[in-house]
Each structure stands twice: as C-alpha cells, then as structure tokens.
Amino acid sequence: MNIPNKLEEYEDNWETEIGGWIPGEKVFLRGKNVLTELKEYRWLEYLLFGITGRHSPRIARLIEGMWVICTSFPDPRLWNNRIAALSATARSTGVLGSAGALAVSEATIYGLKPIKGGMDFLYRIDRELNKGQDFEELVSSELKKYRGIYGYGRPLVDRDERVEPLLEFAHSMGAGQGRFTDLAFRVDEYLGNSRFKYRVNASGVVAGMLADEGITPEQHYHLATLTFTAGVFPCFLDAAQKPEGTFFPLRVSRINFEGNDKSRVWGD
C-alpha cells in the first residue's frame, strides 16, 4: 500500500473502539455508556478504566493515596511548581502556568520518566531472575550501563520521608506485599550496602506496588501524568497574590560575568 492510498483510508474516517460522543444521545468509553453505566465512578476509577480497561475502586483509591503522599508538594521551589509560580507573577493564566508545569514534569532525572523507568526496571529484572540469572549481576549491570537505577537515590537527602507513610497506607489497603514490592526492597538492601549507598525512593516503592496490581509501565506513565497538579495550583494561586515580577528576582550584581564587555546587538 502506497502512502497516498493509506491516507485515503483515513480521510474523514477514524475507526475506534475506545469511545465517542453521539450528540444529543450518549457518550461511551470502552463499550460502556458514560452517562448511565459509569456515572457512579469516582474520577480516578474513570481514569483507571479509560487507561487500562479495568474497574477497580481499590486500585483507584490506592493511586489516590499515592498521589497525596508522594507528589503534589505545594513548594514553589520545586522544578514544575516553579514554572507555575513564575507564570503567576508574570500575570499569565492558570491554564498556561499549569500546562507549563505539567510539560516539565516529563524529565529525565525526575518526574514521569523515572516513574515509568522504575517499573520497567522491576519488570525486566523479574523476567531475568525467572530465567535463572544472578540477582547481583543484574543490578550491577544496570548500574554500569545507566550509572543509576530509576526508583533509587534522591537529591539533597538520603532518606525518603514518603516511604514509611506510603507503606502504612498501602498495607491498610491490602497492597504493598507482593513479589514486585519485595523485589524493590531487595534491590534497596543491595544498593544500600554497596558503595553507592542508594536507597529506594517513593517512585520505586510505587512502581513495585502497582506492578503487583498488574499495571504495566506504559499504563503507569499515563496514570501518573496528572500526579503533580494538586501541588501546582496552590503555588500558582499563592504567587498570583504577590507583586508582579517578584518570583525569585536576581540582581545584576550577583551575576558573575566573564565575557566581553561590549554590548551585543541582536541580529548581527
């Protein structure tokens, strides 16, 4: 099939079984009528169903608790919250500020990529262990290849204050006691006793818990996309009450400039 014919197949035509809206009649998602069959779902249940096709109030509540305990910290110094606070003092809108904050939540060393990567690591190492591979060699190989392991280590402090309350909450939900969670802490023990001294962080624990629930890394990524937003909005609202342009200003005298004193003319 050549490219033009392939495009003709989709011209004014998009076939999908995921969902749709029939104006004046109904809205459906994965074969369910949203207005009649899903109207009692909590929002997280609806999100979980849309991403995974599963309806589980228990998993949805587990994810809600994870979001509250592990993310959405209302500190404007944090990477994504900083975008929201800056946009507020620049007198931008809440939508633009929160969208910018959400965009930078997808980074290499924090946010969504480590969230997905931590679960991917646990699935990969579990498969290799089932094939009879040596545990220590697998972890050492991961460190050698990537110079770190998603879900382990944390900037500024060694201890992650979120892990203990997260475990307590998960246990109250009958979660956090499966083989992937056990594997996450097995890696934690190994790394903690190594020269690297890395310890498991909240994203590594969450990865193990949700892997135990059958969530895939790709599903985990999409479920976590909005996880930081409840911390973003308070930071925007707080900064909006401050004078315009006042978010962490830096006076010129504090800049250590070693370049040419000649003024640059843009366009030359």
Provide the b/e sequence for 121-157 (b: ≥16 CB within 10 Å): bbeebeeeeeeeeeeeebbeebbeeeebbbbbbbeee
Angle (deg, nearest 10), helices 79-89 and 94-103: 160
Tens of pLDDT along the chain (268 residues) come to 566 678 888 999 999 999 999 999 999 999 999 999 999 999 999 999 999 999 999 999 999 999 999 999 999 999 999 999 999 999 999 999 999 999 999 888 888 999 999 999 999 999 999 999 999 999 999 999 988 999 999 877 888 999 999 999 999 999 999 999 999 999 999 999 988 889 999 999 999 999 999 999 999 999 999 999 999 999 999 999 999 999 999 898 898 888 777 777 877 6
Provide the 8-state DSSP code for 248: S
The CA–CA distances, whole Å, from 180 to 198, 206, 208 equal: 18, 10, 5
pLDDT digits (tens, 9 = 90+) for 141-182: 999 998 899 999 987 788 899 999 999 999 999 999 999 999
Distance from C-alpha of 148 to C-alpha of 109, rounded to nearest angstrom? 10
Q: Break the chain into its structural domains and give their ranges.
A: 112-223
CA 263 – CA 5 distance, rounded (Å): 56
CATH number attached to the domain at 112-223: 1.10.230
Residue 4: predicted pLDDT: 66
Residue type for position 267: G
pLDDT at residue 7, as a whole number: 87
Q: Report how far residue 181's alpha carbon sits from residue 223's, in angstroms, rounded to the nearest whole number.
A: 19
Q: What is the pLDDT of residue 3?
A: 60
Q: Which pLDDT belongs to residue 109?
A: 82
Among left, alpha and beta (phi > 0; psi -120 to 50; other), residue 148 is left
Laid out side by side, the sheet with 26-29 consists of 19-22, 26-29, 32-33
